Every structure is written in C-alpha cells, then in structure tokens.
Structure 1
Amino acid sequence: MHTFVNQVARINGVINEWVWGIPMLILIISTGIWMSIRTGFFQIVRAKIVGDETFFAIFKKRHVTKTKDKKAISQFQALSTALAATIGTGNIAGVATALTIGGPGAIFWMWVSAFFGMMTNFSENVLGIYYRRKNMYGEWSGGAMYYLENGLGSKKGMKKIAKFLAILFAIFCVLASFGIGNMTQVNSIADAMHSNFGIPTIVMGIILAVIAALVVIGGIKRIGRVTEKLVPFMALAYIIGALVIFFINYRQIPYVFGSIFKDAFNVSAVGGGIGGYVIKRAATMGFKRGVFSNEAGLGSSVMVHSSSDVKEPVIQGMWGIFEVFFDTIIVCTLTAFVLLSSSSDAKSQAKVFANITTDSQTFSIAEHIDEDKEVPLIDKEYSTLVIDVDSDGNAKLYTEAPADGEYLELKAYGNSYYVKASKKEDRTEDDYIYTNIMSIKGNAAKDSNGKTVKDSNGNVVLDSVKVEQINGVSLVTYAFSQKFGDVAAKLLAIAILLFAFSTVLGWSFYGTKAIEYLFGTKSMVFYKVIFVCFIVVGATLNLSLAWSIADTLNGLMAIPNLIGVLALSGTVVKITRNYTKRKIKKDDVNLEPMLSAFPDIQKEQEEKMRAEEV
C-alpha cells in the first residue's frame, strides 16, 4: 500500500509540474493578452463603465443586489459566491509563499497576471451567459462545459472533440471540488481552530458539515444569500486590519513599492550570471500565485456567474473583471504590503540561541560580530552555528568563521540542521526582507520510558533543535503580531475559518453544476450529500497527497477551458462590439442585442429587457 501511495505521488508530481509549469502559465497569460488586444484593452478603455456597472451599481441600482427571478441569483450574489470560492487561504498563505520564493518582485508579476487575467475572466463570463441553458427546474446551468459543447461544438468537424473536452472539464471539476474545494480547506480550518482554541478536529469537522449541509443542500439561492453577507464582512475585516498596518507603517511605502519594482527587474546580478534567473523566478511565482488567487483561466467561477439573472453577457463579463481586480489587486496587494512593511525582530545568533526552549520562537537572523554591534546577514556571508548542550541541559552557542555557501548550518549532538538564509544586495537599515524569518524549537530528550528528561532545576533537557523557515500563514501571523500582539494568531485563525469555509460553499456549487452536466439534474442531491460527508473526513486526515492531487486536477481544468475561450474569441469580440454600439457609444440603439446563442432564450431575455425599460 505504501509503495502504491508513493507511486501515485510520484506520477502526480510529474503531471503537476507540467500542469503548473512554464508552458501552462504562458498559455494562461497569453490568453489574457490575446483577449485584451482583441477587445481593444476593454479593462482600461472602459474602466469607468466597468466601475459604474459593478462596484458603484451595488449602491445605485437595486436590480444588481435584488432579483425577482425565483430561479436565479442577483448579479451581486453571483459575484459574492465567485469571490467566496476565490478569496481563500491563498490570499494569505499564497502571497507569503510568493514573497519567500520569488522575492518582492513576484508581486509586480502578480499584478501583470491579474491585469491580463481580467480579460480572460471577462471572456469566460461572456461565453458562460451566452451559451447557458435552463435545467428541468428552470434554473440556469452554464460554464465551460456548455460553451465547449454548444459553442466550440457548433464549428465544423468539432462536435465530438468539443463534447469530449466538455466531459473532461466536468470530471476534473468534480474531483477537484472534493479536494481543493472541500477537504483541504476544511483541514486548514480544523488545524487553525485546534491550535488556537483547542477545538478537537473531529468536532470542528462535524460542526462545519452541519452548517454546510444547511447551506449547500438549499441550492444556489441559499448559497447566494449566505455569501452576499459573509464575503463583504470577511473581506472588509481583513482589509481594515491590513490598512491599519498600512497607515502605521506609512513611512515604509516608498521602500515597499521601490523593492517590488526593483526586484521585478533585478539585473544588478547579471555579471554573476544570475540576473535572468532572478527575474524568471520572480515572474514565475508572481504568475502562479496570481492564477491560484483569482482562478482566471481555470473556468471555475463561470458556473456561478452563469446563474445570475443578468440579461447582457457583457455586464456579467464586467463583474468578472471586478472579481479579479478585487481578489488580486486589492486583497493580495494588501497582504504583500503587510509583509514587506512590518520590520522583523533582528537578533544576534548568540541572543537567539542562548536559551533554547521547547516553546517555538520566531526571529530573524543577524550575524553577531561583537557584543556591541549586530550586522544583518547579507550577500554571500554565512556563518556556521554550533550548539553545545552541557550536562545540565543548558544550550550555548558560538559562531565559527563566516563561510561561503547557501545555508546556515546548525549542529546539535552531531546532527546537522540546514536552514535557508536570505540574500539581498545594497541593503540598508530600513530594508526588511522576509526570507530569513525563522522558527526554532528545542526537541525534549526522552528517557527509556518515554518521559521528558529535566535537570535538577526543572529545566527540560534538549537533545536536538528544529529550525524552520517561516512561510505561509505563519509568516502573515508574524507580521500582524508586530502590531496586534498575540491576539493576531487568533484573529487570523478566524479569518482562515471564514475564508476557507466560503471557498467550500463556492466550490460545492461548482461541483454540483459539473455533476449535473455529467449525470443529469437529479444527480445533484446525491453529490451534495457526499460533498458534506467529505467535510468530516477532511477535518481529521493528513491530506498532503490529496492537496497535491486536487491542485493538479484544478490546473487540468484550465486546458479544455482555454481551448474553448481561444476558439470562441471571435464570438466574445462580436458580443462586446454589439454591446458597445448599443449601450456605450450608442451608435445603433436599435441593433438587435446578442443575449443568447439559443433563439428561445434570446427571445425570452429580450422580452424581459423591454419589460424592465417600461
């Protein structure tokens, strides 16, 4: 069994590396660039109109937040449900990972990804509305599988291929919904609540399953009612916390933006042959986290946008633009600012390791020169740290001569522990970088009976030391704790609860619509029951492999979806030009609107539009 699991992990690793590799990222970004060019950079040229029809419309136009259609959700509910699925732990942990691996420059490339991703999302939503159908209950059913089958499939010789791609997309979506949209999210919630509040994981799983059942089984109308209240609350709370730090650290604003742009095009090391690598690394991480964050190109959020009561495909496309803007440009950028503007607590190696305990300590490493002077670890200067533990269990540390290399080496009882150190050229006192934030914890010695060994003074005797680089949620917690103290961990645990649970609600709908496409409308109730049961499973299991597989499946969804978007780009352009002539330029107000690919739905939507205008 162990061999089988390892084999699965190995195969998945190969596929995952390809799915989320450079070629796929280039395809996703290129699609956004292509759609931007073909629509005349709609996201810039029509920015004011996009704002008026989305964010500002929430406060001015009643039909945006309310709907009379009992079988559909409002435009704002569609946005909220889509954001519920996309704004998740990735907005917290994902940005930290991008900064740790790709440096501050990764944020610039994340912005680039979002800029072009806006038009990918716009195109997906336009096609989703244009090719959607109604099921046996009178509810809208749309998404990549429908514009693949009915759009791409209408082209000569493409019917069978289009149907195959549609089925493939739906299968990937269903499987991914149990992983990245369910178990892995719930696992993050259960771990966070157990660590900070002591709630048993099984109890948390049952509680979440019950709440989810009440919402999910109620269908899209109930999901929409919950997310339209939950998403604004959780997003606003997180934004306020980040803005507090933003204004407290306002002096760091020039440094933050300077480091982002400088690192994005860091060619200062070209002489050493690594300038291109640095830029490539930053760009790769920025593009990856951007795609992970807003899901533009994956075709996932189209399914919920297609359930909106909107008549004009372009209007829902505008909501897609706003979705990417809010998720990445606003939320992810604020997280990045918190990380880059909060100073780390630099300590000398001697001070850090003088009294190692079994309690986890967080710090940044500074090279100890003498008792009065501390110099940050920079460039290629590294030290070998040796930990001595005396007979009383007291840990002492001394520093050997600096040596060239890529790691700090920590030795305890003959065992070596390696930890990655940071490098940054031209660093000043006011510069901070988070790749050298470390966590150290002593491992208590055990006697033959498995009991912890203590010295005569009651101190725990250590037999080894664990040193790890802080990353993900822990790194964001550390940054928030600089201003909010120990309460930061609990606040972020609650944020993870809201962010991750909202993702579960959003993905439950994605999976429901995919299963409906595969097996019919009546199969949806069985899927919902199974989905809720998996919540309990996810709260209690170690899901490292499940997360990796789900991540792969999520990426595989992009392949058939992008084929559909690119093949139907001409249709997107026609619909956009039609709307522009009628509603924006008003060159031809009597031009027949392009509302649906199906005559019956086209007629129905035209009648509803005329009724609203009266």
Structure 2
Amino acid sequence: MTLKELLTAFGNGMWGTPLLILLMGGGLFFMLYSRFLPFRYFKHAIQILRGKYDGEKSEGDINHYQALSTALAATVGMGNISGVAVAITMGGPGAIFWMWVSAFVGMATKFFTCTLAVMYRGRDSLGQLQGGPMYVIREGLGKKWQPLAILFCIAGIFGTIPSFQSNQLTAALGEGLLIPLGIEMTFGVRISIGIILAVIVGLVMLGGIKRIGVVAGSMVPVMVAIYVIAVVAILLLNYELVPQYLLLIFTDAFTANSVLGGAVGAIIVAGARRAAFSNEAGIGTAPMAHGAAKTNEPVREGLVAMLGPAIDTIIVCTMTALAILITGIWQEHTEGLSGVTLTIKAFDDTLIGGRYILMIALLIFAITSLFSYSYYGAKCFSYLFGAKHIHYYQYFYIGMVVWGSVTSLGAVIGLIDGMYALMAFPTMISALILSPKVIKAAKVYFQKVDL
C-alpha cells in the first residue's frame, strides 16, 4: 500500500458514524441546551467584535478582533476555496447543504468550546497564560483526564500541518500563472515554491501570536473583500441560474441523484468533513486562538467565536459553491481537476482575468492560514514537550510546508482529515461534560452586562 493509499484510508476510516454523531449531534445539543443563546445575542457579539469592550484591563495577548481574525485566517482560507471544490467532487452539490447544517450547529459548538477556552486557561512550562482544549481538560476536568489532553495535542501537531495550504497554493500558482507562461510544474519548480513559502512563514511564525494577530487582523478583511467582490461579479453575470442551483443544493442533499454524488450518507459525510476543515467547529483549533484574547469574560469571547462559522461556511463557502455550480465546471469531465484547480477554471471561464484575481485572494488566504496553523501546532507541541523546545516544532512545521508543495493532494487530505477526527473527540467530550459551567457563566454575564 502506498503512502497516499494509507493516509486516504486513515482519513476515510476516522470519519464514521460515531464522529458525525459527536460533532453534529453535539452541536445540536449545545444549541438546544443553551436555548439558542448564541443566536439571540448575535448583535451583542458584533458590538464586542467592534471593540466596545477592548478598553478593559484583562489578561491575554490579543484583542477580540485579532483573536477572531487569527481563527478566520485559518478557516477562511484554502478550505473555503479548495475545500468546497473537494466537497462537490466527493459528494455533489448536496454536500454543500450538509456543510450549512454543520456550520449552523457549529456556531453553538464554537460558543461553548471557546467560552471554555477562556474560562479554563492554564500556564505553560514558561508560565505564559494559554488556552485551548488541552488546558480545558487539565484545568476543568482534572489530571485523571490527562490522556485526552495528550491525544488532542498529538493529533493537533499533525492535524495543523501546513501541507494542504502549500499543496493547493503550489497547484494554484502552476495552474493560474506558471503553466500559462509555458513553465512546466516539475519537481524542482514545486519544491522551489515550497521553500519560498517556508521562508515567508518562518519570518512571521517566529514572532509569535502577537505578530500573527496583527498580520491576520490586517490581511483578513482584504482577502475577504477581494474574494467576495469577484464571486459576486460571477453571480451577477449568471444571476438567472442562482435560484436553480440553490434549489439543486437542497434537493441533491436528500435524493443523492447528482452526477458526482452517491448515497445520502456519503454526501452527509463529505459535507461534514469539509465543513470541519472550513470552520473547525468542534475540532479544537479555534479555541486555541480565542483562548489568547484579552478578556476576563469567557462568555464574551464565546460570542465572538460563534461568528466564525457564519462568516466562513455559511457566507464564503456558499459563494464559492455557487460560483463552481453555475459555471457548469462540476458537470464536466473533471479528471485532472481537483480542489483549487476546479475553482480556478470556474473563475477563468467567467471573468476576464479571473484566474489572476483568484490568485491574489489565494495568496493571501493561504499565507494567513499558514501563520495561524503554526500557532496551533506550536501550542500543542509546547504542552507535550515544554515551551522552551518550541524551536524543534518550528523546524518541523517549515519542513511540512515544503513537503506539501511536492506531495499528492489525496495524501495530505487523508492525513489532516484523520487527525482532525482525533482532535474532535477530546474537544467535544470535554465541552459536553463542562457545558453546565458555560450556561451558569452565561446567566451571570447577561444579568450584569449592559446590552
């Protein structure tokens, strides 16, 4: 069995019924248990994000906006452009519906997991305040649950490798820029791109979360604006087809009659897997970013965090899906077209210079994602081996940037999907057990806050 086949089998094997029940069922439980609390205070979450409460003296490294931007830099990225194309390829248009469902319940999951990330912050080996599922488990559940924290961190080191981003950015540069210029995508060209990316990532990564937060906070709005404007232009040019394909997303989700879809269960799995990579609800990565926020009000950060799935999956992923569907690319013979190359063709066939507009957005998407994932993996490594040894992880991470540029997409997706699944179990189990603590804190918070 080749490495690609082994990793693909690992990813497919981990995404079974138990995990779907845990993620989607758990999210539904959070939604009902909180009586839709995150949705009822959506306006208040926007006020927090706009900085209304940033003046308070609180522990932490970054403000609410930078925390959300860091999380979004990892989620509103290649998962929204390439991941949506992968979802349609794997499960047909109906997979998008199940991405919506996962995101909707994921908003409640994000509220609980990120509230807990601030509520149960802990100190690393150097005494720095940290947040994330491993600290929630250690501080909130106690030492007897330590194996869950260790499992999360081991999976987190490999689940947050940058190989998907570097793989798809390399493919995008080849398809969108180099091949049209007559430059073949040889091994040497691909590894050269990987080395350049590794150098850029290293310069920012070594600055820690404060530098990542500043860079992400400035780049995320730019990348979202460029991408949204381009997709809106595609939708306007094909406005008469939009209702038709929105309806197809709904019908295909239950009938499984699409050209590329299969059994309904397979479509649900495809949608849930790509939604997990898109918004990370229940996986545990975003709580590590939100756990660094400057706030003494855990509920406040939970409200900010729940905006993530609404932005990256319900809005950005939907726009990407419609751009691919209405151009008809998904119905063509797609051999050789996978992930980001499918999206590039959709843009190029519709907009003059579409591939170059997408290339700008892709470059920003991928690089900001690379920054955020380095922070997540570093926190997992520090928890296991001590913060003073973090430089060893940084070498490993930079190496994974280069590896991703030359390996196959299937191998990368299999490894990351499998590790994401392993990360979800400790994150969701600890959040479900500690959910009464979140409800209690929410009641106290909303009694005293001036809405």
TM-score (norm 2): 0.89
1:135 CA drift (Å): 4.3
Instruction: Check whether the contact 2:4–2:410 (CA below 8 A) recurs between aligned residues.
Output: no
191, 202, 217: which one aligns with 2:206: 217
Distance 1:318 1:299 in 2: 16
Question: What is the correspondence of 1:10-159 to structure 2 with a 5 Å cutoff?
Answer: 12-54=7-49, 57=50, 61=52, 63=54, 72-135=61-124, 139-153=128-142, 159=143
1:229 matched to which residue of 2? 218
Indicate yes or no: 2:227 matched with 1:244.
Answer: no
* Alignment-derived partner of residue 208 in structure 1: 197
Partner of 2:151: 168
Per-residue deviation at 1:168? 1.3
- Give the 3 Å change call, closer, same or farther, for CA 8–475 of structure 1 in structure 2: closer
Name the CA distance, whole Å, in 2 between partners of 1:204 and 1:189: 9
Indicate the structure with greater strand content: 1
% same residue: 38
Give the structure with the larger helix fraction: 2
User: What's the offset of the Cα at 1:91?
Assistant: 0.9
Q: Which residue of 2 aligns with 1:599?
A: none
Q: Highest CA radius of gyration, 1 or 2?
A: 1
1:479 corresponds, among 339, 342, 346, to: 346
Deviates more, 1:318-327 or 1:199-208: 199-208
The question of whether the paired residues in 2 share the 8 Å contact of 1:110 and 1:290 is answered with: yes
* Residue number in structure 1 paired with 2:286: 301
Q: Secondary structure at the match of 1:297?
A: coil
CA contact (8 A) 1:253 1:341 kept: yes
Q: Are positions 1:183 and 2:178 aligned together?
A: no
Instruction: State how far apart, in whole Å, the 1-side matches of 2:249 and 2:325 are.
Output: 9
What residue number does 1:291 align with? Answer: 276
Q: What amino acid maps onto 1:172 in structure 2?
A: A
- Aligned residue for 1:310, secondary structure, equals coil
Which residue number in structure 1 is paired with residue 393 of structure 2?
Answer: 527
Matched, 1:255 2:244: yes
- The alpha-carbon distance between structure 1 residues 278 and 20, as it changes in their structure 2 partners (threshold 3 A), is closer
Q: Secondary structure at the match of 2:283?
A: coil
CA offsets, 1:280-314, max 9 Å, x none? 34333322222221010110111111111122111
Question: Are residue 499 (structure 1) and residue 394 (structure 2) matched?
Answer: no
Give the drift of 1:136: 6.5
Task: Output the aligned Cα RMSD.
Answer: 2.7
Tell me if 1:436 matches 2:331. Answer: yes
Partner Cα distance (1:311, 1:52) in 2: 17
8 Å CA contact 2:124, 2:383 repeated in 1 = no
Q: What's the offset of the Cα at 1:470? A: 4.1
Residue number in structure 2 paired with 1:314: 299
In structure 2, distance between residues paired with 1:93 and 1:174: 22
Q: 1:254 to 1:16 in 2, by over 3 A?
A: closer
Amino acid at match of 1:493: M
C-alpha distance in structure 2 between counterparts of 1:285 and 1:291, whole Å: 10
Deviation at 1:80, TM superposition (A): 0.9
Q: 1:538 to 1:127 in 2, by over 3 A?
A: same
Aligned to 1:522, the other structure's residue is in SS state: helix
Match for 1:328 among 313, 317, 328?
313
SS of the residue 2:333 aligns to: strand
Q: What is the CA deviation profile of residues 321-360 of structure 1, one whole-angstrom value per residue up to 9, with x for unaligned ones? A: 1011101011001111212333x4xxxxxxxxxxxxxxxx
Alignment of 1:314-463 (within 5 A): 314-342=299-327, 344=328, 434-438=329-333
Counterpart of 1:576, as a letter, is A
Q: Structure 1 134/477 Cα, relative in aligned 2: closer, same or farther at 3 Å? A: same
SS class of match (1:438): coil
In the alignment, does 2:445 pair up with 1:573? no
Give the direction of change, closer, same or farther, for the CA distance of 1:268–1:537 in structure 2 (3 Å limit). closer
Report the CA distance shift for 1:528/1:53 in structure 2 as closer, same or farther (over 3 A): same
Instruction: Give the 3 Å change call, closer, same or farther, for CA 332–544 of structure 1 in structure 2.
Output: closer
- State the Cα deviation string for residues 463-494 of structure 1 (Å, max 9, x = none): xxxxx274432322222123214x32333333
Q: How many residues get paired? A: 440
Q: Distance in 1 between matches of 2:283 and 2:16?
A: 15
Q: 2: distance between equivalents of 1:232 and 1:285? A: 29
Q: Distance in 2 between matches of 1:164 and 1:46?
A: 35
Contact 1:435–1:469 under 8 Å retained in 2: no
Query: Runs of 5+ in structure 2 lacking a partner?
Result: none
Distance 2:255 2:60 in 1: 53
- Give the match for residue 606 of structure 1: none
CA distance in 1: counterparts of 2:167 and 2:96, whole angstroms: 27
Q: Quick one: structure 1 residues 176 and 98, their matched pair in 2 at CA, closer, same or farther if it must change by over 3 Å?
A: closer
Residue 18 of structure 1: how far off its partner (Å): 3.0
- Give the Cα separation in 2 of the matches to 1:566 and 1:436: 41
Distance 1:148 1:476, change over 3 A: same
- Could you tell me how far apart the structure 2 residues matched to 1:536 and 1:281 are? 32
Residue pair 1:20, 1:555 contacting (<8 A) in 2 also: yes
Preserved CA contact (<8 Å) 1:100 1:471 = yes
Shift of 1:49: 2.3
- The amino acid across from 2:445 in the alignment is Y
Distance 1:192 1:341, change over 3 A: closer
